[in-house]
Amino acid sequence: MQKESTDERYEQFVSLFTRHEPGLRAFVRSLVFSWDDANEVMQNTGLVLWRKFDSLDRETDFMRWACVVARFEVLAWRRDKARDRHVFDEDLVNMLAEEVADDHEGLANERRALEVCLKKLPEKQRRIVIAAYEPGVRLNQVAEALGRTATAFYKTLNRARAGLLQCIEREIISEKGGRA
């Protein structure tokens, strides 16, 4: 059997990492306080995943493996930031990590449904929702930039969120019905 070239292995890694990055990022984000913290942990996680990729057995679920690596990176990050009051306790990180790792397929289904439902939103509502969830954004600044009062903006955002939630629930039920 011929050994894979470094280029082929690199392409495999990039393909797997790209496919699972949104879920992995959501996993990491559920374990840290802010988007900036998640970005820092994701960067370290990506490096470790690449360095250890040759040790990954082809039969191993990449996402499950990546979540284990990410959990250790969150714990290492947590130790570095231990004096910060916004860092979760190690036991809580482990509990959350286990829970999220066990449900990564369900979360992936929810993300797919969210993407479908975002496309169904009217353009104005979609822009508002996307703007509201940009990392580091302050909602009152978004409202001001859109020429709206904070109250009007929150009402519009909440209506859009409620519509998204209903749509996501319908999509997930429809998806489950299609597989039954």
Same domain, 89 and 65: yes
- Domain residues for the domain of 62 are 6-102
Contact 110, 173 (CB under 8 A): no
Q: Is 75 helix (H, G, I), strand (E, B) or coil?
A: helix
Q: In one letter, which amino acid is 125?
A: Q
Same domain, 11 and 95: yes
Same domain, 14 and 97: yes
State how many domains the chain has: 2
> End of a domain among 102, 122, 155?
102
Q: For the purposes of burial, counting CB atoms within 10 Å of the CB of 49, is it exposed (0-12), middle (13-18) or buried (19 or more)? A: buried
Task: Decide if 161 is inside a domain.
Answer: yes
What is the pTM (predicted TM-score) of this model? Answer: 0.50
- For the chain (length 180 residues), average pLDDT per consecutive 10? 71 90 88 86 94 85 90 87 62 71 70 87 85 79 84 86 88 71
124: domain CATH number is 1.10.10.10
Helix ranges restricted to H, the chain? 6-29, 35-52, 62-80, 90-102, 104-120, 123-132, 139-145, 150-179
| pLDDT for residue 142 | 83
Task: Decide if 166 is inside a domain.
Answer: yes
> End of a domain among 102, 124, 159?
102
Same domain, 89 and 135: no
> Quick count: other Cβ atoms within 10 Å of Cβ 39?
15
